[in-house]
Chain A
Amino acid sequence: MTTTKFRREFDVVGDDFAGAGRVSTEIKALLKRVGYAEQTIRRVAIAVFEAEMNVVMYARRARITLDMDPEGVRILVDDVGPGIPDIEVAMQEGYSTATDRMRQMGFGAGMGLPNIRRNADEFAIESEVNSGTRVRFVVHAR
């Protein structure tokens, strides 16, 4: 495991269903190379994948910033999109505004945000309607 801190940034494009998951797969491979524990990698990978699917399904585009150090992994997903009018409602399991197309892909069941939160040790979200949403989460290394 490296003792240094480093940062990588990734761009995700909205509505790119064919490419959805590419960034999460890349981040997972990167964390493996750095040498985090398997359980840490799995939690980050699942949370980032959910976040990436959210961007593809709902936002126009997003920048994902990944910060790694021996303490853990911090992720910021900063999107340009419609925003979330009521975050508390959006955080409820099963609440979804997904379209049929999203559901055909196996997503849009209203599990995304709750599942990100469940896999993270720290989780925060803020959103502005007609502007975008920022989700930040941290998974501690163990």
Chain B
Amino acid sequence: MTPAVKLTLAEVCRVLEAEVLTGGETLDATQVTVGAGADLMSDVLAFINPEAVLLTGLANVQSIRTAVIADVKALVYVRGKQPNADGVALAEENGLPLLCTPLTMYEACGRLYQAGLPPCLLPPRCAHDNDEVQTGI
């Protein structure tokens, strides 16, 4: 593993042999500092760091909404999956670049890791995770 690096989206695109679905004009200017792969959006919301590139096989509109909410810098669909036109429009509206790679999730993640892009830091368990839940409002 090479030391942790930041990658521009243009570099991500090259490493993943990806096609740009939207946001092509920002590829050189946008940097990502961590990578993540997930199909479960609940997990993405629970662990993803800001400035991440998210690889997913979930090509519905919820992947885009989740990415926007969680400050994901770019979304990469694996195995050639593509969102529908509504999804692309929503990403455009929110300035979220969308890429599409023919690679599998495993290989796409592996290539980015090999290029030096580190994984997300998992959040520490919160002190109040095991507290009694306050009921009554």
Binding site for B on A (CB under 8 A): 17-18, 20-21, 24-25, 28, 38, 42, 45-46, 49-50, 76, 87-88, 91, 104-112, 114-115, 117-118, 123-126, 134, 136
CA distance A21 to B91 in the complex (A): 13
Q: Which of B45, B58, B61, B128 contacts A50 (CB 8 A)?
A: B45
Residues of B within 8 A of A76 (CB): 137
User: Which of chain A's residues has its CB closest to B60's CB?
Assistant: A105
Question: Is B123 located at the chain interface by the 8 A CB criterion?
Answer: yes
| B interface residues, how many (CB within 8 angstroms) | 30
A sample of 6 more A-B contacts (CB under 8 A), given A49-B66, A107-B41, A117-B129, is A38-B71, A104-B60, A105-B62, A112-B42, A118-B46, A125-B135
CA distance A115 to B58 in the complex (A): 21
User: Which of chain B's residues has its CB closest to A134's CB?
Assistant: B137
User: Which of chain B's residues has its CB closest to A21's CB?
Assistant: B65
Contact between chains at A125 and B133 (CB < 8 Å) = yes
Q: Whole-angstrom distance from the CB of B15 to the nearest CB of chain A?
A: 25
